[in-house]
Amino acid sequence: MTDDQTEKSAGSARRRPSLSREAFLDRAFEIFTEAGYERTSIDAISAEAGIAKRTVYQRFGDKETLFKEAVQRAVQKWIVPIEKLREVESDDLADTLRAIAQLLMDNLLSPGGLQLLRLSNAVSSHMPEISAQNVKRGLEPTLAYLADLFRRRVGPDLRCFGTAEGAAMAYMNLVTGGPASLTAWGVSLDRAFIEEYMASSVELFLHGLLPSPDWSEFEKLREENGRLKRLLGETMLQLDASRRGPAEAEEG
């Protein structure tokens, strides 16, 4: 091998292999998450990924387009496949709804899920289409599955909810919405508390869904759910106070 060939070979070894489009979007999403949208530049992403800035612009046009495609890729990786939800169905509807809640909550509170929620929250004011995209790609398939589940397992009489779609939305908001939102905003919730909250919320939901409830049991569940919601509310107030405290102290 000649000296020129040796030099070229060493140079090639030092260069990182070109990333696939999917791998590049994954890396870009990580960088956006670490630094935030405003503080992330195409220069930084191209340097981290080992891809020429000119190539990034050729592929995506600008930073906003790259960001949206990176988020879309993250949503596709993050959502729970409907097949996986079907796998936990059993003859007992309550057990089924608890198992589904567990799957959804584990996914929401996973590192990737929390990254996606926090990044979406951070840009939602000036990029509302990001939240709309997350709902369309992530939430709508789950809602459609739940609505179908309620039609199959309960029938047309859904008592408090009117439609299967309304019942599906209520289930998501009641069972997973509270803990997921608080955790995304930085509130640390004990796992035992989350488990208790989900179990209580599923029972409360079923009493609004199924006919002829035992109203004494319903009242107990309503009180328990109220207690858990008050605790969540108090945690939110404490979080808000801790965030405002330093700023107010400086103003004083």
Q: What share of the chain is helix, strand, coil (3-state, %, to 5)?
A: 80, 0, 20
pLDDT of residue 237: 80
pTM of the predicted model, to two decimals? Answer: 0.68
More confident residue, 88 or 110: 88
Under the banding of pLDDT at 50, 70 and 90, the label for residue 215 is: low
pLDDT one-digit tens code per residue, 195-214: 888 999 998 899 888 765 55
pLDDT of residue 12: 40
Please report the domains of the chain, with CATH numbers, ordered by start residue: 17-73 (1.10.10.60), 79-244 (1.10.357)
Average pLDDT value for residue range 71-77: 84
Residue 3 has pLDDT above 60, yes or no: no
Q: Are 73 and 22 in contact (CB under 8 A)?
A: yes
Average pLDDT value for residue range 97-103: 94
Average pLDDT value for residue range 227-233: 80
Question: CA-to-CA distance for 205 and 191, rounded, in angstroms?
Answer: 21
pLDDT of residue 1: 47
Which CA distances in Å does 197 have to 6, 15, 123, 219, 251? 65, 51, 29, 16, 39
